[in-house]
Amino acid sequence: MALVTSVDQLIALRIAMALLSGGLFTLAYTVTGLSLPSAKVGMAYGVLGSFSSFGSSLSPMSLGLISSISLRAVFVAGALLMVAALACVLLASRAQQSVTEEEAAQTGG
């Protein structure tokens, strides 16, 4: 969005982003529920809820400060945060896969 050249492009991208991110929390809770043992799911849901609330309160303040630099910087910061979130998901996925492989090797499966 930092590269848009008109208001129409910005509105179209914001609508697309809203439609694509609508199920983000549902997806996060589903993946958490499916990937953790049932004894740890409650704690993980608590952590997800806490960080969701923290992000919801921190985001307007931090992006308000960034907007004092320029409005384009807000979208660049958002893109960088999305790339960082994707990296975290990929790293967690690899870690989960290696743990699963280790468990399978220990059980002989």
- CA–CA gap between residue 92 and residue 98 (Å, rounded): 10
The DSSP 8-state label assigned to residue 6 in this structure reads S
Which pLDDT belongs to residue 1?
64
Which pLDDT belongs to residue 50?
92
Domain ranges of the chain: 24-107
Which pLDDT belongs to residue 109?
58
Q: What is the mean pLDDT of each run of 10 residues along the chain (109 residues)?
A: 82 85 80 86 90 86 88 85 85 77 73
Residues in the chain: 109
Which pLDDT belongs to residue 58?
87
Give the pTM.
Answer: 0.56
Which pLDDT belongs to residue 46?
92
